[in-house]
Amino acid sequence: MKWTHWLLLPLLLALAAGLGYAVLSLPDRAQGLQSAVAAQLDQSGVTNPVTAVLLNFRGYDTLLEMVVLLLALLGVWSLGASAPACSQSTPGPVLDTLMRLLVPVLVVVAGYLLWAGAHAPGGAFQAGALLGAAGVLLNLTGGRLRHGLGRVALRVALVAGTVAFMAVALLTLLGGRALLEYPPAHAGILILLIEAAATVSIGVTLAALFLGNDATSEREQ
């Protein structure tokens, strides 16, 4: 540890200097993709360029990312119940009041972010993160979410985003278009539909990742 540590610092400083030089030597004005995005923005169904890229122009990236979330959850579940189980203690009055106030606010803000994503910064991932935070909060303050979702309902909520995305992709294929090439007249409502399902899935997946093990299968044994 000692002599390698002294070797490590100069190496890292050299790496930092090299990366810093690379960043600084980039041209100040770069031709990015913003003009290409702006040219097609009125066809995308939304007015926020980031949402247009995420859900329309690069839709299959986002579709595969939903699959990555599911794969991570499968990995965590397949590791088994090694995490210490949450104790079922009743929360104190302060924590209980905070949870009762905060969880509805989180859900409302998640809905707003989902809706605002069409024209302002926001969207399915931000809203899903808030839903996940609400689920984590519920779990930390008494584990009530475990009794809220049954085995089937949990799995339906987990795959809803991916299924909705794939259904839309198949419909566009059947309609004679390319994969995930929405018809411009219906692009906005399709994106909102996908985002709503994805928000639920992302939120439930993040909360389930936090729980660590498949609580529903444990309960039914």
Binding site for another protein (CB under 8 A): 1, 5, 8-9, 12-13, 15-16, 19-20, 23-24, 26-34, 37-38, 49-50, 52-54, 58, 61-62, 65, 68-69, 72-73, 75-76, 79-80, 82-83, 123, 125, 202, 205-206, 209-210, 212
Which residue in this structure is represented by tokens 């949990």?
A: 154
Q: How far is the CB of 93 from another protein (least distance, A)?
A: 31
Residue with tokens 């990236």: 61
Instruction: Report, in Å, the least distance between residue 16 CB and another protein.
Output: 4
**Assigned token pair, 160:** 């809803």
Say if CB 56 and CB 191 are below 8 A apart: yes
Burial of 210 (0-12, 13-18, 19+ CB in 10 A): middle
Which residue number, 2 or 220, has a Cβ lying nearer to another protein? 2
Provide the token pair at 99: 């949870």
Of 172 and 199, the one with the shorter C-beta distance to another protein is 199
Q: Supply the minimum distance, in Å, between the C-beta of residue 80 and another protein.
A: 8
| Distance linking the first and last C-alpha atoms of the chain | 48
Q: Among residues 31 and 87, whose Cβ is nearest to another protein?
A: 31
Q: Which of 188, 168, 164 is nearest to 180 (CA)?
A: 168
Q: Shortest gap between Cβ of 65 and another protein (angstroms)?
A: 5
Judged by beta carbon, residue 27 or residue 93, the one nearer another protein is: 27
Closest CB to another protein among 16 and 167?
Answer: 16
- Main-chain dihedrals φ then ψ at residue 52, nearest 5 degrees: -60, -40
